[in-house]
Copies of this chain bind each other. A is one copy, B any other.
Amino acid sequence: MFDLLHANFQKRIYLTDEEFDRCVTFFVPKKVGKKQFILQEGSVCNHIVFVNSGCLRSYTVDSNGEEHIVQFAIEDWWISDLQSFLSGKPSIYNIDALEDSEVLFLEKAARDKMLEAVPKLERYFRLLQEANYVVTHHRIEEALSASAEERYLDFIKTYPTLVQRVAQGQIASYLGITPQSLSRIRKELSEKS
């Protein structure tokens, strides 16, 4: 149940088994069915979520009723709206499951206690934030300068597993293009090779 989380911690910091055991108590395992929400626009996001299995996404709905996917999260990833989580203000994002998933909930209060109990984790979350910063800024630059084809190629290079698992239309939404365009891009790419 907590093996993935354990490995994920160890990738960035070193915890003794005793320390990790202390951490575990703060997490709440949950099952999330396909299409089920774990956060809805307008409500406060008072948890961050580690994905054990399955796949979730966060997205906004614009004034034309169209969805824009912000992030995917498969096993071994975190997902949340940090803005709402940290500020306590209502979120502008939705998060739901694209597959039946198993996740570990970490409530805000629990996280605070955990950080007190195992201060080393401060470093872990800081490193996580930094990684997030890099990904986010890369995404801005790409969105502003790269073509749809370039963005797709970068996507399949960066997230090869997601390409297999997620519906094409969802990837199109993430890339900021229509499903039709993505279909054509894939066609051209396959013809080239």
Contacts and interface: CB of A to CB of B under 8 A. Distances in A.
Interface of A: 60, 62, 66, 68, 70, 82-83, 86-87, 126-127, 129-130, 133-134, 136-137, 139-141, 143-145, 175-176
A120 to B, nearest CB: 17
Given A83-B130, A126-B86, A143-B143, A70 B176 contact: no
Nearest to A142: B143
Given A70-B137, A137-B136, A86 B143 contact: no
Contacts of A62: 141, 145
Q: Chain A interface mostly helix, strand, loop or mixed?
A: helix
A164 to B, nearest CB: 23
Contacts of A176: 143-145
15 contacts: A62-B145, A66-B145, A68-B145, A70-B140, A82-B133, A83-B130, A83-B133, A86-B130, A136-B140, A139-B140, A143-B143, A143-B144, A143-B176, A144-B175, A144-B176
A130 B140 CA distance: 17
Contacts of A86: 126, 129-130
Nearest to A60: B141
Nearest to A127: B87
A13 to B, nearest CB: 14
A134 B140 CA distance: 13
Nearest to A69: B144
A79 to B, nearest CB: 14
A86 B133 CA distance: 11
Task: With a 10 A CB-CB cut-off, give which of A82, A130, A137, A176 has the most chain B CB atoms.
Answer: A137
Given A68-B145, A86-B129, 16 more contacts: A60-B141, A62-B145, A68-B141, A70-B137, A70-B140, A70-B141, A82-B133, A83-B133, A86-B126, A86-B130, A87-B130, A139-B140, A140-B140, A143-B144, A143-B176, A145-B176
